[in-house]
């Protein structure tokens, strides 16, 4: 069947059969007349010439109806920026992830910002093939996304795309279908722009000088190191001084760097808590300062300094020795008068220091008894070696359950001449948490115990016995 010569993108073709006039619907996406290329609503998104739908590979259609939808009726595709509910704009620049607050007028170079954007297909026709979206700064692409087709009404939303701005004020834009691949009913609504402000006009870089540590010093893992430096920026108009500073350390003489902290622009000293597992004779630190325009200055320790490693306690075990006490044991790998912090937790997550022990001289086994605990309760422990110079990494975590109530002992039974039907039972109390005692009795040679009473004290007078019989008791 010949297609009308006026067949063009946006037109709808309905293929049917004798029993179902709405068997299949396709839309012309490009081409004209017999060269029209169509895409289906109800199967795949692959381009096919319209007459392929009649060759028997999908079905044999006997009725074909052409609908020519004029441009004025909205027959074309359309891609546009989109404003989701609660967003102030289709393009957002936020200083914090997870929100949609605009901070495009408070840009600080060198700081990470989070970009959100949204576009949608809002024309009459579906977009059956790849749609490209470009994020640009100063009209230069910084990121590209490709979406494999969009149905009418579908949207694409990207949130918290991280980006660090480094230059002066500029235009940030999001544009869908930037090369106008798809013929649209409105080619003017597919781009949204933000003019970034807050980026200062400072053209002179800052300066900085690291003072300490600058080589030759010695520190300990888990201890502290005081880092000091001086820094400044030009006083020219537009300068806002130093706005951001980053401290780094290198364990290998500058071959690699790890971030220590990110600071505001006013500080000139910092107490570095050295990682407990760091040990090196080739350590350096580095200070990088930023001005409001993103210019930087960097200074590094002139020489290397030493961080002595500190051995962690090993093989911590816990053992319940009473209803209110747990004994701990671990291996000291330091010696030399090491002291230890004892951490305790009831949930295995939130630990608090419960005590200290030491000094301990010479490596080997260390013991400690934790008392005053609740009976039949699980406790978790970890141990850390420390001194005035260091704190080691933690030992492993050990857990144990305190004993149930300690049983009485030294049970004694005494008789009296008068009355002959009375016996006195006494015992020693070994528990701090009991609420009372249950007294059980049986005749010697019998098989079953009988509860005869409960008492609060450690003495029981049994006046329910028969004379001249032998009895046994337990408490």
Rounded-to-integer distance, Cα 327 and Cα 371, Å? 9
**Considering only 111-125, 407-421, 432-446, 460-474, which range has the smallest mean pLDDT?**
407-421
Provide the 3-class DSSP secondary structure of residue 72: helix
In CATH terms, are 79-195 and 314-401 the same topology? yes
How far CA 311 is from CA of 41, 333, 338, in Å, comes to 68, 6, 11
pLDDT digits (tens, 9 = 90+) for 80-99: 888 888 898 999 999 899 88
pLDDT digits (tens, 9 = 90+) for 288-337: 998 877 788 999 999 999 999 999 999 999 999 988 899 999 999 887 77
Q: Which of 87, 75, 74, 70 is nearest to 155 (CA)?
A: 87
CATH of 79-195, one of 2.40.50.100, 2.60.120.10, 2.60.40.10, 2.40.10.220: 2.60.40.10
pLDDT digits (tens, 9 = 90+) for 156-199: 899 999 998 875 567 888 888 877 777 776 777 888 888 887 65
| Phi, psi dihedrals of residue 73, rounded to the nearest 5° | -95, 5
Comparing 164 with 213, the larger pLDDT belongs to 213
Superfamily of domain 207-308: Immunoglobulins (2.60.40.10)
Buried b (16+ CB within 10 A) or exposed e, 365-384: ebebebeebebeeebbbbbb
Which value, to the nearest 10 degrees, does the dihedral of the CA atoms of residues 435, 416, 420, 414 take? 50
CA R_g for the chain: 41
Q: Which of 309, 304, 311 is nearest to 250 (CA)?
A: 304
pTM over 0.85: no
Give me the pLDDT at residue 420, please. Answer: 65
Domain boundaries, the chain: 12-69, 79-195, 207-308, 314-401, 409-474
Label residue 38 by pLDDT band (50, 70, 90). Answer: low
How is domain 409-474 classified at the CATH fold level? Answer: Immunoglobulin-like (2.60.40)
Architecture of domain 314-401: Sandwich (2.60)
Rounded-to-integer distance, Cα 174 and Cα 136, Å? 6
pLDDT at residue 463 is higher than 70: yes
Label residue 467 by pLDDT band (50, 70, 90). Answer: confident
pLDDT digits (tens, 9 = 90+) for 366-423: 999 999 998 889 999 999 999 888 999 999 999 999 988 778 888 888 887 666 678 8
């Amino acid at each position: 069947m010949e297609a009308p010569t006026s067949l063009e993108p946006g037109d709808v073709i309905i293929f049917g059969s004798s029993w179902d006039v709405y068997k299949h619907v396709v839309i012309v996406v490009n081409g004209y007349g017999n060269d029209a290329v169509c895409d289906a609503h109800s199967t795949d998104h692959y381009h096919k010439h319209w007459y392929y739908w009649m060759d028997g590979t999908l079905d044999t259609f006997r009725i074909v109806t052409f609908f020519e939808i004029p441009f004025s009726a909205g027959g074309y595709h359309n891609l546009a920026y989109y404003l989701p509910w609660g967003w102030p704009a289709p393009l957002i620049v936020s200083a914090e992830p997870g929100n949609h607050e605009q901070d495009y007028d408070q840009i600080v170079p060198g700081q990470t910002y989070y970009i959100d954007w949204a576009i949608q297909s809002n024309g009459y026709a579906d977009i059956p093939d790849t749609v490209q979206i470009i994020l640009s700064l100063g009209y230069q692409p910084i990121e590209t996304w490709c979406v494999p087709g969009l149905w009418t009404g579908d949207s694409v939303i990207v949130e918290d795309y991280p980006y660090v701005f480094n230059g002066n004020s500029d235009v940030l834009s999001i544009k869908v279908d930037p090369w106008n691949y798809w013929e649209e009913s409105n080619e003017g609504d597919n781009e949204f722009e933000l003019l970034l402000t807050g980026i200062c006009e400072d053209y002179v870089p800052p300066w900085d000088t690291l003072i300490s540590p600058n080589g030759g010093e010695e520190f300990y893992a888990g201890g502290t190191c005081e880092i000091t430096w001086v820094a400044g920026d030009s006083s020219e108009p537009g300068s806002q001084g130093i706005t951001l500073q980053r401290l780094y350390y290198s364990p290998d003489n500058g071959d690699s760097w790890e971030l220590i902290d990110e600071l505001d622009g006013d500080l000139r000293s910092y107490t570095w808590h050295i990682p407990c597992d760091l040990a090196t004779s080739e350590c350096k630190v580095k200070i990088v300062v930023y001005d409001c325009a993103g210019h930087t200055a960097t200074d590094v320790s002139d020489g290397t300094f030493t961080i002595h490693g500190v051995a962690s306690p090993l093989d911590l075990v816990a053992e319940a020795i009473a209803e209110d006490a747990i004994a701990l044991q671990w291996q000291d790998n330091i010696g030399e008068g090491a002291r230890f912090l004892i951490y305790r937790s009831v949930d295995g997550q939130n630990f608090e220091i419960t005590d200290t022990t030491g000094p301990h001289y010479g490596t080997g086994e260390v013991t400690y008894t934790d008392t005053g605990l609740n009976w039949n309760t699980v406790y978790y422990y970890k141990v850390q070696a420390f001194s005035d110079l260091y704190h080691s990494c933690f030992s492993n975590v050990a857990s144990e359950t305190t004993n149930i109530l300690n049983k009485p002992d030294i049970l004694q039974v005494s008789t009296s001449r008068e009355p002959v039907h009375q016996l006195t039972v006494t015992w020693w109390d070994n528990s701090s948490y009991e609420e009372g005692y249950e007294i059980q009795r049986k005749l010697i040679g019998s098989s079953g115990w009988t509860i005869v009473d409960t008492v609060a004290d450690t003495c029981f007078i049994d006046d329910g016995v028969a004379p001249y019989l032998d009895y046994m008791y337990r408490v």
